[in-house]
Structure 1
Amino acid sequence: MKIICPKCKNPYRTSDNSSRSIRKFGFFYRISDRKKVQRFYCKLCSLHFSVATLSFCYRQKKRQINHRVARQLVSGTSQRECARLMKINRKTVVRKFIFMAERAKLTLEKLNKKRPSIAQLEFDDLETFEHTKCKPISVTLAVESKSRWIVGYEVASMPAKGLIAKLSVKKYGKRHDGRSTARKKLFGRIQKYIASEADIKSDQNPHYVTDVQRFFPRSRHYRYKGRRGCVVGQGELKAGGSDPLFSLNHTCAMARYRISRLIRRTWNTTKKMEMLDLHFALMSLHHNLSLKETSLLRGRTATG
């Protein structure tokens, strides 16, 4: 962590010895986790501060359980069950969940910047619902082929279709279709991470063609006919033969396993679309970091 005065933004220990205006000023033991925390004093503005002042968890209680709560919530555990297992209040779980998910969004962008340009991309919509099946939600997901790295996602509302379409309009009114806007927003955000002549794969949805040509004009767009899902993957993994969108479908199946509100045939559903967005950010970061650790382990094994 880079030590900077919160008030005058003066850095700690610059190359010029005469400008070393920040010095150490003892330490204290934090009550929550009994960790030794270094204090500092700035001579320019006479401010006393510590390493904890510069932390994301400043003034936060029970910071030692942040990562434990996040790990539970990306392992198919609901918020209530997480509170029971960890013996904490459910409101504490919600606060930790929101805090870690917002940080996960920032971390995902930093990880994408460090990776090389993506040459093969797969994208499609994962469908779920909030509160009732009459209020469906679409999650547009973009995944790198083979590595299954989640490049980005976007959550949007969509109107009900099929047999419950009329019932949905009758009970809740006409529902806004934000899939096109969400797709454009996602493509605009990840455009800088995709190679100019990348291979982009999707199903034969007619709305995808225009957006791909607009944001990735030099790319090659391959479209595949949708196939019936197998029982094991609950619709995401396809039955029989080689699946050209396997990386995407496998990632969607893992998302339904890891995010409790996405599991099919359960009473644990999404109550707010914003919370699904945060939960997906937390799962995406855990998923990408797991892939990163696996690749590093394979590299060490190969060199060893």
Structure 2
Amino acid sequence: MGLASKHFLELERQGHAASLEVEFDDLETFEHTKLKPLSVVAVIESETRRILGFKVARMPAKGLLVQRSLKKYGRRKDERGKRRRELFHELKPHIHPLATIKSDENPHYPKDVKRFFPRCRHTTFKGQRGCVVGQGELKGGGFDPLFSLNHSYAMLRANISRLFRRTWNTTKKPERLELHLAMYVLYHNLFLIHNPAK
């Protein structure tokens, strides 16, 4: 049994009530080179900052890297939608059917939220400029409506060497990134955050 599977079993064993408010978005990293980007979609419980689940997805390069990526590695699959739907399916038992689900204004999100959580309230927020501290995940300019998510992503960047902005510890296989994340998520949920339910 993989660590990711153990993570979800741990959620069940802890006997937490279904989450009433959650946040989700994508965090971007890469495998071996920035010409081969990866996306990590995660769902965070707003009140406790518990990481309920995550998925790793391959994605095409963007912006100025598109032509170089196509020339060197060919067309890359975009797995983000598929992985997001897999995550939502796995987390349905852990999210209250009338929960509030928060995200940014990504146009691909509403359809998937509606499909898996039809009675939940999906609230979206315009993306904010990142501040220097937190390497872009933490936002400057006052109140951040997605603070729990962005704070958790900043912690991922700070605690997982392969997610550092400048590092030699790059991911060579997406499956290894997923295992690394699974180990961190268990540690994050059990030791790093204050959980009022304990």
Q: TM-score, normalised by structure 2?
A: 0.95
Residue 280 of structure 1 is matched in structure 2 by 181
In the TM superposition, residue 295 of structure 1 has moved relative to its aligned partner by: 3.6
**1:291/1:222 CA distance change after superposition, 3 Å:** same
In the alignment, structure 1 segments of 5+ residues that lack a partner are 1-98, 300-304
Instruction: Give 1:105 shift.
Output: 2.5
Q: 1:131 aligns with which of 32, 45, 49?
A: 32
- Give the secondary structure class of the aligned counterpart of 1:147: coil
The one of 86, 90, 100 equivalent to 1:189 is: 90
TM superposition shift of 1:291 = 4.8
The aligned runs of 1:58-73 (5 Å cut-off) are none
Deviations 1:150-180 (A, max 9, x none): 0000001000001011110011000100000
The alpha carbon displacement at 1:239 in A equals: 0.7
Unpaired runs of 5+ in structure 2?
none
Q: Distance in 2 between matches of 1:245 and 1:271?
A: 30
Alpha-carbon distance in structure 1 between the residues aligned to 2:147 and 2:179: 25
User: Cα distance, 1:217 vs. partner?
Assistant: 0.2
> Helix, strand or coil: the match of 1:165?
helix
Structure 1 residue aligned with 2:70: 169
- CA apart distance, 1:136: 0.1
In structure 2, what is the equivalent of residue 234 of structure 1? 135
Secondary structure in 2 aligned to 1:163?
Answer: helix
- Three-state SS of the structure 1 residue aligned to 2:34 is strand
Indicate whether 1:258 and 2:159 are aligned: yes
Letter in 2 for 1:152: G
Work out the CA distance in 1 between the residues paired with 2:25 and 2:42. Answer: 6
Q: Give the distance between the partners of 1:115 and 1:232, measured in 2 at CA.
A: 32
Paired position in structure 2 for 1:143: 44
Q: Which has the higher contact order (CA 8 A, sep 6+)?
A: 2
Percent identity reads 55
Q: Of 99, 122, 131, which aligns to 1:198?
A: 99
1:107 equivalent to 2:6? Answer yes
The separation in 2 between residues aligned to 1:212 and 1:273, in whole angstroms, is 25
Report if the CA contact (8 A) 2:19-2:45 is conserved: yes
1:290: how far off? 1.1
Secondary structure at the aligned position of 1:151 is classed as strand
Query: How many residues get paired?
Result: 196
**1:210-234 CA distances to partner (integer Å, 9 max, x unpaired)?**
0000000000000000011011110
Q: Say whether the 8 Å CA contact 1:117–1:195 is kept in structure 2.
A: yes
| TM-score, normalised relative to structure 1 | 0.62
1:149 touches 1:291 (CA, 8 Å); kept in 2?
no
Q: Partner of 2:101: helix, strand, or coil? A: strand
Q: CA deviation at 1:268?
A: 1.6
Q: Distance in 1 between matches of 2:143 and 2:102?
A: 15
Note the C-alpha offset of 1:242.
Answer: 0.5
Alpha-carbon shift at residue 189 of structure 1 (Å)? 0.4
Mapped contact 2:4–2:178 kept (Cα < 8 A): no
CA RMSD after TM alignment: 1.6
Q: Partners of 2:143 and 2:173 in 1: how far apart?
A: 36
Give the Cα–Cα distance (whole angstroms) in 1 for the partners of residues 192 and 155 of structure 2: 13
The whole-number CA distance in structure 1 between the counterparts of 2:78 and 2:5 is: 27
Is the contact between residue 144 and residue 150 of structure 1 (CA under 8 Å) also seen in structure 2?
yes
Q: Which amino acid aligns with 1:241?
A: G
